[in-house]
Amino acid sequence: MSSHLHLPEPTAEIIAVQDDLVTLSPLGDHPLIKNEVVYIIPHGPEREGKPREYLKAEVLRVRGKSAEAQVFESTAGVRIGDQVIQSGDMLSVALGPGLLSTVFDGLQNPLAEIAADHGFFLPRGVLTNPLDTTRKWAFQPVRKSGDMVQAGDVIGTVPEGRFEHKIMVPFSLNGAWTVERIREGTFTIEDVVATLSDGQGKTRDLTLVQNWPVRRPIPDRLVSSGRAERLYPSEPLITTMRLIDTFFPIARGGMGCIPGPFGAGKTVLQSLISRFSAVNIVIVVACGERAGEVVETITEFPHQSDPSGGGTLMDRTVIICNTSSMPVAAREASIYTGITLGEYYRQMGFDVLLIADSTSRWAQAMRETSGRLEEIPGEEAFPAYLDSSIKGIYERAGVIRTGDGKIGSLTMIGTVSPAGGNFEEPVTQSTLGTVKTFLGLSAERAYKRFYPAVDPLLSWSRYHKQLATWYETNLGSDWVAQVEEMIDLLRRGDEVNRMMQVTGEEGISIEDFIVQQKALFLDMVYLQQDAFDDVDASAPLPRQQETFGIVYRVAKHAFDFPEKDEARRFFTELTSLFKNLNYSAEGSKDRDELKGRIEALIRHAPSRYGEEAAE
């Protein structure tokens, strides 16, 4: 891999330094531009054998001729008079084959390659190419000379693992272009594979890679030019998590958030979603200093088989994480980098899942930078534009029909880490005002070992009506109504449970006690799911449908127990059988036997009218 990038001569200098915020002034007629990437060259004698340092920074604000820039690395040793190189480019990512199975930092530096060259303590100011410039790819053109193309059109493909990676006309090109020549063969990402002409003497050479500014959504330009179409999410993202798929669905191409206090199980839950969800590509963005969780993902994914196909989980995954040597401000860049990569694969027609952990730390980085810029603060000192920034990120999710007729989706799920589990703090509230599925984790449920510790009385999904047609077509016309009945049963059971805490069991009727036992049964056998059991960790939709049908019958059954102890014994035995049913493999003899025992237990239980009609 190439170690250094070619940069122009310095055109600006440092006139002030404040932590990782520096003030720049141009040396000549080279105006500084907002969001432009610049490189600071720290002054001083270079150590023997040490390469020159180039500290990457982004211009945040321009005031007259001077500008303030955020440095993405430590500014130790940076002083007034240090020279600055203007790149002329916005903060961008390289889009091309070789992204999958790679671990990047928030600025798309490949961490494994840097570690191989410099050791595991990453040096400051090292510039690298994000993608391997020596690896060769087999390019198969799908266009020929004389074809007319526009931005986003596919000109050829290369195999990237088991995926067909589409090479597209750069998204930045305007108007129609003619293919002058196109080659078939094996090339590096820097080799020219095609040449385009605009008919007015202007030509453009195309390689296997293109750059795109991370703060600008990829599809917007293509949609406006008619080369793609944004669609309304109409199908659920099947996660194989019963609680999510049945009670709080997330649309494929939709938005969801998982807030919760420390120790409530966010990491395990997001790991299960990324492993078992019905998607092609997974992008994990660790935009906070979550070293333990990131290391676990990096070490486990290469050794875990991919449930959706051959190979390992890492074969379809991109991991973006910040390192301990990067300042807090670099967290902001990581989430933009991740979502731009997600948009790129969506543009190929893939279903992409992006998990951001945790957006709270991303917001804290914005708060710190905003404070150094002396901007007027909002609630809890967060910037006044916090709400719009969060909306701007999540709204980049969605479903599109690409120029070649493929349907691609980008689903975003962000975890939030509110201090003390306070869901009223600004980041959580701004997120809840944006997303359409809220999976609120509860420390109380985690303490009881009720995993996933999502509180069903606190959580919600606004996708029920939006996805109703899909559920009616695939799971039956009564599915949505039955789910709503079960949510209502959980609420009634919670009310009875609160009464029992005040009056004891003696203070409630046998009817109320049965309601409480039914709600507890639903919670124990359907909402809870064992992440460490080979069978129960993932419940495909047909299995969920079968299980829910039995649970629904129990919930609607008109039991007539003479005493509370008898009701308790019944539901304890039924719960035990049902948990074993959840652990039994599909089609196994044990599963058939357990279903028979459950049916017999329900059939012989005391009942007033058999089974009630739906209320």
- Binding residues, by number, are 260-267
Dist. CA 432–CA 425, nearest whole Å: 11
Dist. CA 246–CA 135, nearest whole Å: 45
Please name every residue paired with 401 in a beta bridge, in sequence order, or none if there are none. Answer: 229, 407
Structure tokens at 273: 């979603």
Dist. CA 208–CA 468, nearest whole Å: 42
315 sits in which H/E element: none
Dist. CA 531–CA 102, nearest whole Å: 26
Dist. CA 181–CA 146, nearest whole Å: 8
**What is the β-pairing status of strands 163-168 and 154-160?**
antiparallel
The CB density around residue 608, as the number of other CB atoms within 10 Å, is 9
The CB density around residue 423, as the number of other CB atoms within 10 Å, is 19
Dist. CA 271–CA 531, nearest whole Å: 10
**What is the β-pairing status of strands 163-168 and 351-357?**
unpaired
> 452 with 269: CB under 8 angstroms?
yes
H helix intervals, 233-358: 242, 266-276, 291-300, 331-347
Q: 40 φ, ψ to 5°? A: -95, 135
Three-class SS state of 416: strand
Which residues are annotated binding-site positions for ATP?
A: 260-267
Contacts of 394 (CB under 8 A, 6+ apart): 255, 412, 414, 431, 434, 435
Neighbour-count burial for 209-242, b at 16+ CB within 10 Å, e otherwise? bbbbbbbbbbbebbbeeebbeeeebebbbbbbbb
Single-letter residue type at 508: I
Dist. CA 35–CA 472, nearest whole Å: 48
Dist. CA 86–CA 273, nearest whole Å: 41
Neighbour-count burial for 520-548, b at 16+ CB within 10 Å, e otherwise? bbbbbbbbbbebeeeebbbbebebbbebb
